[in-house]
Structure 1
Amino acid sequence: MNDPTSNIGSVLKRVRFERRLTLEEASKLTEVSKAMLGQIERGESNPTISILWKISTGLKISFSEILGSETNNFEAISIDSIKPVYESDGKMILYDVFPFNPISGFEYFYIKLLPGAKHISTPHQNSAEEYVVVTKGTVVITVEEQTFELTAPSALKFKANREHSYSNPYDIEAVFQNIVKY
């Protein structure tokens, strides 16, 4: 297994150079001393998790990127090749395009609502927000007592720790993208 800290220095140096930041400027942004940043870049210091969080937060890069676990690999996904999950008497067809990943902190679904579909979702206690983007038709979303009728193209963001539902009371299929952020 590769040591995830082995690339930290080169990632830090690359990001700093791409942004044309001096060590002093990077130090101000990250609240990590200039000397420590220099040692990390040269591979002379193995930073703590706390230092890594300061660097990733200050430079506005993901924690996985600072660890060098971001890759340049690309994966093209055909939605039709994903085995769907059928809910609500088969009228809600859910494709888990990007399953939950603890590094990214989200999962992404492509969802079709056939005419007459209604799905009630219990509150997600471990998630912070849901983002819904309607790309075809009209989706009616109810969050607690509030109802939103979203006709494509439109979007809604809400706290996912509340009871919510999705429905399609119309005669044409509706499609929406759903991101659940944890």
Structure 2
Amino acid sequence: MASAGNPSKPPLHSIAATLRRGRQAAGLSLTELAHRAGIAKSTLSQLEAGQGNPSLETLWALCTALDLPFSRLLDPPRPRIQVIRADQGQAVTSAWADYRATLLSACPPGARRDLYRVDAEPGTPRTSAPHTPGTVEHVLLTAGRALVGPADDPVELNPGDYVTYPADQPHVFEAREPATRALLASEYS
């Protein structure tokens, strides 16, 4: 996968602690959570130990199984003013597509919205399984060209175009030009 700059790796210690707390709060064993998420128990065990290199798909599957917003895995303490420069921030990459999502803003307590910067390249589309019921995504394309939206009816976007769609059904992001970038907001009900 081509990468722009040198994005930092996901914060494994934070992911490990959040997964362990979420699993324990849900009263699930390692085996049961791994089964619900469709991953190997050994993979989950490694992640809870702060080891490995989790893909975006693995982390989403775990969040869906625990009914946790994805941002809880990556949300570090923030100063009152936060600037994340292009090609910086906590990025997680797809195992199947040239696609990287960088958490830009997690919801404050009481709100249910996460904001991501997406960097994608042409090739294999990033197809997402349904998120938790009621989830809606908002995408503003900032560079390039992409097909975005429900897997069975995506919309072609050009720079400056915006689309919103239910993300509790299969959906896709397919870059049609090199260096495609977008802002993606996930809204949870």
TM range (shorter): 0.5 to 0.7
Native 8 Å contact 2:97 2:126 kept in 1: no
Q: Which has the larger radius of gyration?
A: 1
Cα 1:119–1:88 shift into 2, 3 Å: farther
Native 8 Å contact 2:149 2:164 kept in 1: no
Cα 1:177–1:117 shift into 2, 3 Å: farther
1:26-65 aligned within 5 A: none
Native 8 Å contact 2:127 2:151 kept in 1: no
Question: What percentage of residue pairs aligned between the two structures are identical?
Answer: 16
1:99-110 aligned within 5 A: 99-110=106-117
Native 8 Å contact 1:117 1:169 kept in 2: no
**How many Å apart are 1:153 and its aligned residue?**
1.4
Cα 1:89–1:123 shift into 2, 3 Å: closer
More strand by share: 1
Cα 1:149–1:104 shift into 2, 3 Å: same
Out of 75, 82, 93, the residue aligned to residue 82 of structure 2 is 75
The answer to whether 1:113 aligns with 2:148 is no
Counterpart-to-counterpart distance in 2, 1:113 and 1:138? 10
Counterpart-to-counterpart distance in 2, 1:166 and 1:73? 32
Pairwise CA RMSD of aligned residues?
2.1
1:31-64 superposed Cα distances (whole Å, 9 cap, x missing partner): xxxxxxxxxxxxxxxxxxxxxxxxxxxxxxxxxx
**How many Å apart are 1:167 and its aligned residue?**
0.6
Which 5+ residue runs of structure 1 have no aligned equivalent?
1-71
Q: State the AA in 2 paired with 1:73.
A: R
Q: State the AA in 1 paired with 2:143.
A: K
Counterpart-to-counterpart distance in 2, 1:91 and 1:115? 7
3-state DSSP of counterpart to 1:80: coil
Counterpart-to-counterpart distance in 2, 1:145 and 1:90? 18
**How many Å apart are 1:74 and its aligned residue?**
2.2
Native 8 Å contact 1:88 1:119 kept in 2: no
Which 5+ residue runs of structure 2 have no aligned equivalent?
1-78
Q: TM-score, normalised by structure 1?
A: 0.54
| Count of aligned pairs | 110
Counterpart-to-counterpart distance in 2, 1:88 and 1:168? 16
Give the equivalent residue in structure 2 for 1:180: 186
Q: TM-score, normalised by structure 2?
A: 0.52
Q: State the AA in 2 paired with 1:181.
A: E
